[in-house]
Amino acid sequence: MPKDTTVLPSNEVTDPDEEKRSYRKFSEEEKLRILAEAEQCKEPGQLGELLRKEQIYSSHLTKWRRQLQAQGQAGLKGKQSGRKPSLDKRDKEIERLKKEIQRLSQRLQQTEGVIALQKKAFSLLEQMNTEISL
């Protein structure tokens, strides 16, 4: 009779490599609270105690401070993980048209520059022509 694989006997140990790792996720409010508490830590050892209590590293504080400084409170919000949604035909067409508009506007600027240069050259030639004929 085959062994039941759903329940492990007490003498068997699971492989830690096979266990799925779970990561803590902090909400925006939690990050702000922890940052505020960290700012209140003035005595030696208080910050270390806070880090141990919250089970975080000092790099978390550094990262959160940078995000808060660069992007404000919105920077502390969690980002959605996973793939970006694929574009449908309409979105692809919009992207293609935006690129074409960009390309054509660059070409227009270049052409306008050439025309302005031609106008200046023509006026100089006209001026030289009138001076020679006098």
| Spatial distance between the Cα atoms of 29 and 51, rounded to a whole number of angstroms | 17
Residues 62, 38 contacting (CB under 8 angstroms): no
pLDDT of residue 57: 92
- The pTM of the full predicted model, rounded to 2 decimals, is 0.47
Residues 36, 76 contacting (CB under 8 angstroms): no
**Crossing angle of helices 46-54 and 28-40, rounded to 10°:** 160
| Spatial distance between the Cα atoms of 76 and 36, rounded to a whole number of angstroms | 14
| pLDDT tens-place string over residues 61-108 | 999 899 888 888 877 787 777 787 787 899 999 999 999 999 999 999
